[in-house]
Amino acid sequence: MRGLKIAGLVILSLILFIALIAFGLAFSLNRTVLNPDFVTGEGDRLEIAPIASEAMSQMLHAAFSEEALDSLTETITTLEPQLKNELNTIVYYVYEYLHGEREEPELANLLGLTLLSSDFISAVIDTMDGPQLATIIWEEFGEEIAQGFSLPEDAFPHLVTGLGELLTDLKPWVKEQVEYVAGPIGDYLAGEVESFSVTITLQPLIDGLRGVLLGVFLDFPPDELEGLPPEELEQAFDVFWAEFTGEILPTTFQIDETVIGKDAPLQIASFTSEAETVVRQIREYVGYVRLAYILSIVVSVLLIAGIVLIYRNVKGSTRTLGIVFLASGLVVLAVALIGKNLGAEQMLRAMVAMPPQLQSWASQVLVDLLAPLQWLGIGFIAGGIALLVASFVYKPSRTTD
């Protein structure tokens, strides 16, 4: 009989040891990667602007000046909170599906409500600074404009300033056009229509640009027209303007499937389809983890009760449970510490070519990811020591034990 009792205690203790370790792993996953608050919190700590700035300085250094790259960085910095809000919305939406609160992921519809929505595009437009955007445009098309109107170099700074003021004034008009075309474009990208065509007038832009160019032309006329009265200068400008608008600026602009790209809906559909397949597979794994989490709790409680029932005394029960909790706590803590040290080393090797900001962020994510497991291991150890101490300190009475 005593042999059966010992064998039962050994088996139950071993299973409890395994169940506690399984609980620790499931608990850690449930508090981190399966928790949208954890994911969004880690994402909010990532500073996108410095990383984007370094990437742009490497990829676009030859195309844009340092001033233009600084302007783009400032725009991204201003837009970063709005971008993170949209990404957080996507995260919570996807996690609702992973946790069974939604029947289908519907990622295409999700993109239309967030990153491809007219509200987000309008927010992007709001972040664009007119003078900064004018500087970028001037670097791309300034030489062509200056040659088209034979402007001297002294006129360039004034023209850039005028363009910046014009772009700032045109922001409301641009937002109206975006809202006007967003619906048809969204329906086309979502695959709801096979083709579309939207025509917008460019007259406000043309009128404003003419005013800016005329003002600069009158103040800084070409050398061959120096000294002419304003009336004759304006007549000469009209000749330049007619040639410029005839070659470059149409009065209307038509947006249809050829502008967006006939393959765009197929590419988006393919991307969202593949992403939904991955999300569905992840949902299955999430179900397994959540089931393991619940089962590990139930099994642990039953095993603890079984050990107590076999002993039927406080001293023996606390001693055995203390050993099991202490052993499982040491294993859980060791896993957390080894994962933190080895994982950080391997991560830094893999990210050696990445920006320092991204490396630092990833290292902190690893620490935060293993923190629940580490603290749970410490908790198990503390609980095990407390139980062992209780087993030695406890003095059974004659009527109980």
Residue ranges of domains in the chain = 2-31+271-393, 64-266
Give yes or no for a contact between 322 and 388, defined as CB atoms under 8 angstroms apart: yes
- In order, the DSSP letters of 167-206 are HHHTHHHHHHHHHHHHHHHHHHHTTS-S--EEEEE-HHHH
Specify the amino acid at residue 379. G
pTM of the model: 0.74
Residue 255: which H helix or E strand, with range?
strand 252-256
Gap between the Cα atoms of 324 and 333, Å rounded: 14
Q: What is the reported pLDDT for 58?
A: 61
Neighbours of 225 (CB within 10 A): 13
Unique residue bearing structure tokens 């089931």 = 291
How far is the C-alpha of 31 from the C-alpha of 29, rounded, in Å? Answer: 5
- Give the span between the Cα atoms of 50 and 357, in whole angstroms: 8
Give CA–CA dist 252/245, Å, rounded: 12
Rounded to whole angstroms, how far apart are CA atoms 94 and 376?
28
Q: How far is CA 31 from CA 193, 218, 250, in A?
A: 43, 68, 57
DSSP label at residue 264: H
Give Cα separations from 197 to 98, 185, 187, 253 (angstroms): 38, 9, 12, 10
For residues 110 and 116, give the distance between their C-alpha atoms in angstroms, rounded to a whole number: 9
* Cα dihedral sign, 262-107-273-103: negative
Q: Which two tokens stand for residue 84?
A: 């993170």
CA–CA dist 252, 264 (Å, integer): 24
Q: What would you report as the CA-atom Rg of the chain, rounded to the nearest whole angstrom?
A: 34
Residues 43, 94: contact at Cβ < 8 Å? no
User: What is the structure's pLDDT at 128?
Assistant: 67
Place of tokens 């061959």: 224
End-to-end CA distance of the chain: 19
Amino acid sitting at position 89: T
d(CA 70, CA 73): 5
Reduce the DSSP state of residue 114 to 3 states and report it. Answer: coil
In order along its 401 residues, the chain shows pLDDT tens digits of: 577 878 888 899 999 999 999 999 999 999 999 999 999 999 998 888 777 766 666 655 555 556 666 666 777 777 888 888 989 999 999 999 999 888 888 887 888 778 777 777 777 767 766 666 676 676 667 777 777 788 888 888 888 888 888 888 888 888 888 778 877 877 787 777 888 888 888 888 888 988 998 998 888 888 888 888 888 888 888 888 887 776 567 778 888 888 778 788 888 888 888 998 999 999 999 999 999 999 999 999 999 999 999 888 888 889 999 999 999 999 999 999 998 888 878 887 877 777 788 888 888 899 999 999 999 999 999 999 999 999 888 776 655 44
Three-state SS for 22-58 is HHHHHHHHHHCCCCHHHHHHHHHHCCHHHHHHHHHHH
Which amino acid type is present at position 240? F
Q: Which CA distances in Å does 261 have to 107, 196, 234, 266?
A: 21, 12, 41, 10
